A and B are shown apart, each in its own frame.
Chain A
Amino acid sequence: MKTFQYEIKDELGIHARPAGQLVKLLKQYASSVTIAKGDKKVDAIRLMAVMGLGVKQGDVVTIEVDGADEKYACEAVEKFFQENL
């Protein structure tokens, strides 16, 4: 399992559009990915659940990637966060 933490820079937080783009991205990988804020953790491929976390600018989220292609998936997800959030 791979994991990283990220502080959200986007002024709207994790809003609908990047959450949707993330879902699209994750469909390319076999690994399962979760996003956690505080003690709430959700499956990143579930759009409404991710939006339901209510992650705002300045919040720090923990991302966990687990699966056969976790190395590549984790790199892609980290890059996605840096570029879009």
Chain B
Amino acid sequence: MRTQHGKSVYKGIAIGKISIYKNGQQVVKRRHVEDVEAEIKRFEEARDQAVEELGKLYEKALSEVGEANAAIFEVHQMMLEDLDYEESIVNIIRNQELNAEYAVASTGENFSEMFASMDDDYMKGRAADVKDVSERLVRVLSGVQEDKMNAEEPVIVVADDLAPSETIQLDKSKVLAFITRHGSVNSHTAILARMMNIPALIGVDYEQDWDGAMAVVDGFQGMVYVEPTREVLEEKRRIQEEEKEKERLLQNLKGEENITLDGRKINLYANIGNVSDLGAVLQNDAGGIGLFRSEFLYLERNTYPTEEEQFQVYKRVAETMGGKKVIIRTLDIGADKQVDYFNMEKEENPALGYRAIRICLDRVDIFKTQLRALYRASMFGNISIMFPMIISVDEVKKIKEIIKEVKDELKQAQVPFKEVELGIMIETPAAVMVSDLLAKEVDFFSVGTNDLTQYTLAIDRQNPLLDHLYQPDHPAIMRMLQMIAENGHKGGCWVGICGELAANLDLTEEFLRMGYDELSVSPTFILPLRQKVRESKAFVDA
């Protein structure tokens, strides 16, 4: 048995034969041509065929990995049709009287070097794309067939690296796992592995003689075992079976209702912090977005995000989710987060300081920009707005006045918008104690258990000395949760929980009994939680 370590980009266990994928780099010969016009025509025909092939790949990718990941093939098409690229090829053929294969290969090399030498990681990565399209063109010109892997049975694909076009062309039913020597966590191979739900390792220093050998890929531990011993094989097979069983049970739950044994339904929504999490939301079959943290729009930049920028993001989220609910929380930034352009003073107690709605109600221009973007985006889906760190009815009234101004301004400018649900985070003990009054002002409550626990138990979560005292299901918290649900319902609100506690499967039944209408958790917790709900009873047996 030989073992080799690698960086795991997706978990899981695969057992099977290794097939080393030979990248289709072809040796291009430099050849003199007599009839340059005919050679140029040959190039143009090959280019059109390559563009057509890419169109098919785009369609295939669209159904397998989604629009955002498929777009690369559209870009590839445009690269092939790029005027500079074409002119360079035609010039080489015409002026140097050389063959099209050579002209394409050397042009591809030049452009790829141009990108590789750019002072920008994103652009450096485009060098691989130019290479990829040029190789395709050379292949078409030399009349070589595609599909370099024709395994009979499913195999573990091992390669130096896989170009997007190569991964998408692989027959997915024949791939058990990916192992590459190069590549990154965000490479196309990694994305595809996640979509296909198969293990993938990168940075594996493999040997040529692995080809055809039996192997185990362990994506949990980032290990490859070539010609494994019987003990290893049995152990891994056992883990694989367990995982498959778990996964099968969860996948069966997609499209199922979140309903208890005794017939109570609950909404399970997802918490996300960036647009890039949307894929996970859809994959895990979330019923909506229960908490969209808008902070990422403000972080890691030098100026305030404009209304237009925010509008584009909110619109995209609303559109992606179709008619499903998208609850967007307004700015929740404080002195503990690095946002230099807010020019905030350093504070002794940032958790108790100038943050979130306190900033928004003080610097109304920032708040209004966000509200305008949100209301404009309301036309594109089912948006709700949620306000953090509320401690009084007065704050809610002020928020509503500002919203009224925003709406009046939009009306005057004849900008279309819809009415949206307004809700608040219940995350301070003060809000809990006046929740009966707050419920009359808004449409929904969402309990932020992390902050609520910190404020109620007087425990700084950052202090490791207090870890043993931090008890998220402390009776004080559970009583508060009960009170919030009751007061919310009395005042006509629906109530949810979006803190970490919502994902605690030991408490699911308790939350159902308290009457919670919604739980919002990380996308990957949706299906396990659905399973728990379906095994629970919401009503105590008489």
Q: Which one of B74, B79, B120 contacts A56 once the chains associate, using CB atoms below 8 Å?
A: B120
Q: Is A74 an interface residue (CB 8 A)?
A: no
Complex A-B: 20 CB contacts under 8 Å: A12-B122, A15-B123, A16-B129, A20-B74, A20-B78, A23-B78, A45-B83, A46-B83, A46-B84, A47-B78, A47-B82, A48-B82, A48-B114, A48-B130, A49-B84, A51-B123, A52-B115, A52-B118, A54-B119, A82-B308
The 7 closest A-B pairs by CB, nearest first: A16-B75, A20-B78, A47-B82, A48-B82, A20-B75, A47-B78, A46-B83
Over the window 279-309 of chain B, the binary record of Cβ atoms lying under 8 Å from chain A Cβ atoms (1 yes, 0 no) is 0000000000000000000000010001011
Q: Is B5 an interface residue (CB 8 A)?
A: no
Q: Which residue of B78, B119, B126, B308 has the most chain A CB atoms within 10 A of its CB atom?
A: B78
| Bound-state Cα–Cα, A63 to B169, Å | 39
Q: Which one of A45, A51, A56, A82 contacts B126 once the chains associate, using CB atoms below 8 Å?
A: A51
Q: Which residue of B83, B130, B308 has the most chain A CB atoms within 10 A of its CB atom?
A: B83
Q: Is B21 an interface residue (CB 8 A)?
A: no
Q: Give chain A's interface residue range (CB within 8 Å of chain B).
A: 20 to 34
Q: Which one of A15, A16, A48 contacts B84 once the chains associate, using CB atoms below 8 Å?
A: A48
Q: Is A67 an interface residue (CB 8 A)?
A: no
Q: Is B239 an interface residue (CB 8 A)?
A: no
**Residues of chain B contacted by A15 (CB below 8 angstroms):** 122-123
Q: Is A41 an interface residue (CB 8 A)?
A: no
Contact A54 B118 (CB under 8 A): yes
How near does chain B come to A26, taking the closest CB pair, in angstroms?
12
| Bound-state Cα–Cα, A49 to B114, Å | 10
Q: Which residue of B72, B74, B75, B79 has the most chain A CB atoms within 10 A of its CB atom?
A: B75
**Residues of chain B contacted by A37 (CB below 8 angstroms):** none
Residue of A nearest to B85 (CB): A48
**Residues of chain B contacted by A51 (CB below 8 angstroms):** 115, 123, 126
With A46-B82, A47-B82, A48-B82 already in contact, the answer to whether A83 and B114 are too (CB < 8 A) is no
Q: Which one of A9, A13, A48, A54 contacts B111 once the chains associate, using CB atoms below 8 Å?
A: A48
| Bound-state Cα–Cα, A23 to B309, Å | 22
Residue of A nearest to B78 (CB): A20
Q: Which one of B120, B126, B302, B309 contacts A16 once the chains associate, using CB atoms below 8 Å?
A: B126
**Residues of chain B contacted by A83 (CB below 8 angstroms):** 308, 312
Give 8 new A-B contacts, CB below 8 A, not counting A54-B120, A83-B312: A16-B126, A17-B74, A20-B74, A20-B78, A45-B83, A46-B84, A47-B75, A48-B79
Report A30-46 residues with CB < 8 Å from chain B CB. 43, 45-46
Over the window 1-27 of chain A, the binary record of Cβ atoms lying under 8 Å from chain B Cβ atoms (1 yes, 0 no) is 000000001001101110010010000
**Residues of chain B contacted by A54 (CB below 8 angstroms):** 118-120, 123
Residue of B nearest to A16 (CB): B75
**Residues of chain A contacted by B129 (CB below 8 angstroms):** 16
Q: Which residue of A12, A48, A83 has the most chain B CB atoms within 10 A of its CB atom?
A: A48
Residue numbers of A with Cβ under 8 A of B are 9, 12-13, 15-17, 20, 23, 43, 45-49, 51-52, 54, 56, 58, 82-83
**Residues of chain A contacted by B302 (CB below 8 angstroms):** 58
How near does chain B come to A55, taking the closest CB pair, in angstroms?
9
Residue of B nearest to A56 (CB): B120
**Residues of chain B contacted by A46 (CB below 8 angstroms):** 82-84
Q: Is B71 an interface residue (CB 8 A)?
A: yes
Residue of B nearest to A10 (CB): B309
Contact B120 A9 (CB under 8 A): no
Contact B83 A9 (CB under 8 A): no
Q: Which one of B71, B78, B114 contacts A52 once the chains associate, using CB atoms below 8 Å?
A: B114
With A47-B79, A51-B115 already in contact, the answer to whether A9 and B122 are too (CB < 8 A) is no
**Residues of chain B contacted by A17 (CB below 8 angstroms):** 71, 74-75
**Residues of chain A contacted by B79 (CB below 8 angstroms):** 47-48
**Residues of chain A contacted by B120 (CB below 8 angstroms):** 13, 54, 56
| Bound-state Cα–Cα, A83 to B425, Å | 32
| Bound-state Cα–Cα, A51 to B114, Å | 10
**Residues of chain A contacted by B82 (CB below 8 angstroms):** 46-48
**Residues of chain B contacted by A58 (CB below 8 angstroms):** 302
With A52-B118, A54-B120 already in contact, the answer to whether A9 and B74 are too (CB < 8 A) is no
| Bound-state Cα–Cα, A46 to B81, Å | 9
How near does chain B come to A81, taking the closest CB pair, in angstroms?
11
**Residues of chain A contacted by B126 (CB below 8 angstroms):** 16, 51
Q: Which one of A13, A52, A82 contacts B122 once the chains associate, using CB atoms below 8 Å?
A: A13
Contact B114 A9 (CB under 8 A): no
| Bound-state Cα–Cα, A45 to B78, Å | 10
How near does chain B come to A21, taking the closest CB pair, in angstroms?
9
How near does chain A come to B527, taking the closest CB pair, in angstroms?
31
Q: Which residue of A20, A45, A49 has the most chain B CB atoms within 10 A of its CB atom?
A: A20
**Residues of chain A contacted by B130 (CB below 8 angstroms):** 48
**Residues of chain B contacted by A52 (CB below 8 angstroms):** 114-115, 118
Residue of A nearest to B75 (CB): A16
| Bound-state Cα–Cα, A47 to B129, Å | 13
Over the window 83-120 of chain B, the binary record of Cβ atoms lying under 8 Å from chain A Cβ atoms (1 yes, 0 no) is 11100000000000000000000000001001100111
**Residues of chain A contacted by B85 (CB below 8 angstroms):** 48
Residue of B nearest to A84 (CB): B312
Report B390-445 residues with CB < 8 Å from chain A CB. none
Residue of A nearest to B311 (CB): A83
How near does chain A come to B65, taking the closest CB pair, in angstroms?
15
**Residues of chain A contacted by B83 (CB below 8 angstroms):** 43, 45-46
